[in-house]
Amino acid sequence: MRSIGRTPSKITAMPSAEGLRDAALQQSIGSAMALIHSTGIAKGVYRFRTQQEADVQRLDALVRVIAANAARLRRGP
């Protein structure tokens, strides 16, 4: 294996306790933010005149889902 640079790799076969805690924290945050499993867009066929109209619908739906997840997260399970 060829080494490039001077910083030794921190990747090991066995993760450290700190690495496992960080991974568990990241997993719990990701799971909490995905309480509502939806794109926010109802099923159907949508026709838009411009790409900007499609982007507005997509972003509005995303904002609604993120806001609903945040509200649910504040309330607790």
Of 45, 34, 42, the C-alpha closest to 72 is: 34
Q: For residue 39, is pLDDT > 80?
A: no
Across the range 46-59, mean pLDDT stands at 95
* pTM, to two decimals: 0.52
Q: For residue 16, is pLDDT > 90?
A: no
Q: Which tens digit of pLDDT belongs to each residue from 54-63?
A: 999 999 998 8
**57 and 48 Cβ atoms separated by less than 8 Å:** yes
Domain boundaries, the chain: 45-77
pLDDT at 76: 67
Q: For residue 32, is pLDDT > 70?
A: no
With H, G, I as helix, E, B as strand and everything else as coil, classify residue 2.
Answer: coil
How many angstroms separate the CA atoms of 67 and 19, rounded?
Answer: 30
Find where tokens 């159907």 sit: 44
